[in-house]
Amino acid sequence: MAGGSTHAFDQRHVLYSKLRPNLNKVVLPDEPGIATTELVPLLPDPSRCDRGYLAHYLRSPRFVDWATARTAGAKMPRLNMKEFRAHKIPLPPLPEQRRIAAILDKADALRAKRREAIAKCDQLLQSVFLDMFGDPVTNPRAWRTSALAEISDAKDRINYGVVQPGEDLANGVPLVRVGDIDGGVLDTSQIKHISPDIESRYSRSRLKGNELLVSCVGSIGLVADVPEWAAGHNIARAITRVPLAVPAMRPFVRECLRTPGVQRYFSEKTRTVSQPTLNVQFVKEAPIILPPVEEISRFKSVADQVKKQRSLIGRSELGLDASFDSLQHLAFAGRLFTA
């Protein structure tokens, strides 16, 4: 596999990320530009390799596993470029490459539609919250207000997690990072595992399965529920753990934190040195409105219905993901090739 000699690219290139955990991130640019040093512009020979076929191969579990085993570095693990450029990819005849790319494009488009449906569920719940309660910061309905810390569990505390997690260990303790927060829920498909010895030093941030998580470094203000099955996982320094005094309030508080007003509050309190950072104290002071219990309960009923629908779509998406992975495996094992 050959890489470009410069970081300039155009519509003929494939852009590949050489950083772990982004080894499956591949972009097909539609205009010229200059790539950062963490991206590798690849220029496939059009007489031998179809650009779409190459992109799908680089995203395939087969190649990602190969690349992951060849990364090195503690803070920002990178793929070894010498081995990357020497890697040989399966190259059936060009018509077969195009046929494989077309099949995978169609399967990927179905997955994209499922993801869009999930995003609409998230948008719907936020719209319902704003219709019922208004913006928490401007508080047009004059609800009682509270700081987030005042409704957290008095026997616990709001805190962030592991500062130096070390290497990814196959049999280690799962560590939730900012990239694992997706639309109000956890996506653990790419989760990192850390040494139990390191994790044991951060028992204060170990998850119990009854919290909310708020991202506070890099991407600021992402919010997610912690499901019961995530109890025992830990969190990275870039995430703040929020144990609530009344777990049944989690859907209400989650959507409150996701409103434009509270997100603006997070943005205003964020400082940028090497990267955007929100101090945990400002998370504790985040403004929360407190409508009557009956109204919060009514919202929870709506949230439960949306969650159920989201779960059904998600299960369908998992099935599509499995089918897509199977197609990729068949394609790059030579079993989608015509005779």
Q: Are residues 41 and 157 in the same domain?
A: no
1 part of a folded domain: no
Give the pLDDT of the chain (339 residues) as one tens digit per residue. Answer: 555 446 889 889 999 888 776 667 888 888 888 887 788 888 998 999 999 999 888 888 888 888 888 887 766 677 878 888 888 888 888 988 888 888 888 887 777 777 777 667 778 888 889 999 999 999 999 999 999 999 999 999 999 999 999 888 888 999 999 988 877 778 777 789 999 999 999 999 999 988 999 999 999 999 998 988 999 999 999 999 999 999 899 999 999 999 999 999 999 999 987 789 999 999 999 999 999 999 999 999 888 887 777 666 555 445 555 555 666 666 676 655 544
Q: Are residues 12 and 71 in the same domain?
A: yes
Under a CB-based contact definition with an 8 Å cutoff, are residues 166 and 195 in contact?
yes
Question: What SS3 state is found at 31?
Answer: coil
96 part of a folded domain: no
Q: Are residues 330 and 246 in the same domain?
A: no
**Helix (H) or strand (E) segment spanning residue 218:** none
98 part of a folded domain: no
2 part of a folded domain: no
3 part of a folded domain: no
Q: What's the CATH code of the domain at 180?
A: 3.90.220.20
Q: Are residues 51 and 153 in the same domain?
A: no
Closest CA to 83 of 63, 54, 55: 63
97 part of a folded domain: no
Distance of CA 205 to the CA centre of its chain: 20
Residue keyed to tokens 């009956």: 294
| pLDDT at res. 339 | 42
Q: Are residues 244 and 315 in the same domain?
A: no
| pLDDT at res. 233 | 96
Number of structural domains, the chain? Answer: 3
Q: Are residues 189 and 229 in the same domain?
A: yes
Q: Which domain, by its residues, includes 191?
A: 144-290
How far apart, in whole angstroms, are the C-alpha atoms of residue 328 and residue 325? 5
Q: Are residues 206 and 69 in the same domain?
A: no
Question: What SS3 state is found at 311?
Answer: helix
Q: Are residues 164 and 224 in the same domain?
A: yes
How far apart, in whole angstroms, are the C-alpha atoms of residue 9 and residue 13? 6
Instruction: Enumerate helices (H) and strands (E) in the chain, giving the number of each.
Output: 9, 20
How far apart, in whole angstroms, are the C-alpha atoms of residue 151 and residue 189? 32
| pLDDT at res. 18 | 81
Q: Are residues 281 and 157 in the same domain?
A: yes
Name, in order, each residue with C-beta under 8 angstroms of 267's C-beta and a sequence gap of 6 or more. Answer: 220, 221
| pLDDT at res. 69 | 80
∠ CA 305-306-309, rounded to 5°: 90
Q: Are residues 159 and 173 in the same domain?
A: yes
277 part of a folded domain: yes
Which regions of the chain does DSSP assign to beta strands (E)?
8-9, 14-17, 26-27, 33-34, 39-42, 71-72, 78-79, 144-147, 159-160, 173-176, 181-182, 185-186, 192-194, 211-215, 223-225, 234-235, 239-243, 271-272, 276-277, 287-290
| pLDDT at res. 322 | 58
Name, in order, each residue with C-beta under 8 angstroms of 165's C-beta and a sequence gap of 6 or more. Answer: 175, 192, 194, 198, 236
Closest CA to 277 of 313, 241, 240, 308: 240
320 part of a folded domain: yes
Q: Are residues 305 and 268 in the same domain?
A: no
Q: Are residues 317 and 193 in the same domain?
A: no
| Of 28, 56, 91, the domain-final residue | 91
